[in-house]
Amino acid sequence: MSDLIRGQITHLAQLAHLNLTDEELDRMSGEVSKILDSVAKVQEVATDHVKPTSHPIALTNVYRDDVVGPVLSQNEALSGAPEAEAGRFKVPAILHAEEEER
């Protein structure tokens, strides 16, 4: 385990106001070392000929034609409502009169 990595983790923990025990610092140091080794291996891959992209496969939108299907009449739509009034759904008021005056 590198003392440099442990020191950096200690510094980051202090910045984040985390109280890590010595055991947690040892574990985190080992995990960070493995992550840094993995990143180093990935950086070794020759990517000079690879064009930067946001997606590895070209994306295209799939659209379908809008087709008008069967629609409900107003009475059919309101038939399942707990309450209806003047051809509309009736719902509880959420604003009180004094709030509306503001």
For 33-74, write each residue's pLDDT tens digit: 888 889 999 888 878 888 888 888 888 888 989 999 999 999
Res 100: pLDDT? 58
Helical segments of 3-82, H only:
3-15, 22-43, 74-78
Domain range list for the chain = 3-43
What's the mean pLDDT when you consider all of the chain?
Answer: 86
DSSP, res 52: P
DSSP, res 86: T
Q: Provide the percentage of residues in the chain whose pLDDT is more than 90.
A: 41
Closest to 25 (Cα-Cα) out of 46, 38, 51, 6: 6
3-43 under CATH 3.30.70, yes or no: no
CB count, 10 Å around CB of 9? 20
Res 1: pLDDT? 47
